[in-house]
Amino acid sequence: MENLTISVIIPAYNEETGLQTTLEKIARLGLFEQYEFIVVDDGSTDNTAQVAASFPLRVFRHETNKGYGAALKTGIRKAQGSKVIFMDSDGQHDPAFLPEMVKMLDHYDMVIGERTADSFQVKSRSGGKKLIRWVGEYLVEQKLPDFNSGFRGFQRDLILSLLHIMPNGFSFSTTSTLAFLKEGYTIGRFPIKVTERMGRASTVKFLKDGPKTFLLLFRLTMLFNPLKVFFPGSVLLFITGMIWGIHGYTVFSRFPNTATILIISGIFLFFIGLLADQISVMNRRKF
């Protein structure tokens, strides 16, 4: 193996068809001899583990399905390289892009393969992605790259230090993007073309995962910039209370109790926001 500094992690859940195709492409490109490859079988009930075991790579298995993020965490902890790269097991990502990713990781803390306009994407998810993008850009106060692209690479020590705030579910990619932006790490990007997945249908469904998306938005807000929510709310309550109080005093010669409650609530909300912000910073600190 020529390059022990690179570990490629492939999470898989019931992906025997797509995984077979992906690993065959890697073999044809001669990449097994260059990098460490790790397949994390996340509790599959098909032949995913057997397919992975037939190639020169390391296989780790979860006894039960824990989630996309949990599989990545296992791969990161088991990786031997100083840099880790994620790619999907469903055939969407072309392993021919790996050398470009490896080269860019010499200069950036995180590298994202950004999907081109002609890449395959599920149109029913576009609304949720736009909403997450809007909230994410509001929180980190800058434009986001392809925040949920599954083809990305990291300096292993940096992503390892942030594993405690990473979710076990599908939002690992989104959370890691915001975390690296919030911590001021350098992020590189290059275009990739993604094809339609192979094998089984995606497990991400609107009715099932729509509520999870909204919970993700609240989680991201509290994790990365709670003052973005608490401060406007506190100002709104305070100003509303003052206006109502001045109106009551002018018209009825008394300061209304509701105005007092609104003003005090605004002050309390502001200090709660400050406390939440300090907890957020402490929660993201490196250990």
**Do the domain assignments include residue 37?**
yes
pLDDT digits (tens, 9 = 90+) for 23-32: 999 999 999 9
Choosing from 191, 224, 257, the residue where a domain stops is: 224
Regarding whether 241 and 217 lie in a shared domain, the answer is no
What's the burial of 49, exposed, middle or buried (CB within 10 Å: 0-12/13-18/19+)? Answer: middle
Mean pLDDT of 194-220: 66
**Do the domain assignments include residue 1?**
no
Averaged pLDDT score across all residues of the chain: 88
Regarding whether 242 and 175 lie in a shared domain, the answer is no
Regarding whether 188 and 268 lie in a shared domain, the answer is no
State residue 160's pLDDT score.
94
Regarding whether 206 and 135 lie in a shared domain, the answer is yes
Instruction: Say how many domains are in the chain.
Output: 2
**Do the domain assignments include residue 182?**
yes
> ∠ at Cα 126 (125, 128), nearest 5°?
70
91: left (phi over 0), alpha (psi -120 to 50) or beta: left
Regarding whether 216 and 241 lie in a shared domain, the answer is no
Q: Where are the alpha helices (DSSP H) in 142-226?
A: 156-161, 172-182, 206-224
User: What residues contact residue 64 under an 8 Å CB cut-off, 6+ apart?
Assistant: 43
State residue 79's pLDDT score.
96
CA distance 58 to 23: 12
Regarding whether 135 and 19 lie in a shared domain, the answer is yes
Choosing from 224, 249, 268, the residue where a domain stops is: 224
Q: What is the CATH number of the domain that holds 213?
A: 3.90.550.10
Regarding whether 279 and 179 lie in a shared domain, the answer is no
Regarding whether 220 and 104 lie in a shared domain, the answer is yes
What's the burial of 80, exposed, middle or buried (CB within 10 Å: 0-12/13-18/19+)? Answer: middle
Mean pLDDT of 2-6: 70
Regarding whether 118 and 67 lie in a shared domain, the answer is yes
Regarding whether 54 and 129 lie in a shared domain, the answer is yes
**Do the domain assignments include residue 152?**
yes
**Do the domain assignments include residue 214?**
yes
Regarding whether 272 and 136 lie in a shared domain, the answer is no
Choosing from 206, 224, 242, the residue where a domain stops is: 224
Structural domain range at position 66? 6-224
Regarding whether 84 and 112 lie in a shared domain, the answer is yes
**Do the domain assignments include residue 236?**
yes
CA distance 136 to 148: 11
How crowded is the C-beta side of 261, counted as CA atoms within 13 Å? 3
Instruction: Kindly indicate the confidence band of residue 1, based on its pLDDT and cuts at 50, 70 and 90.
Output: very low
pLDDT digits (tens, 9 = 90+) for 212-226: 667 777 777 888 889
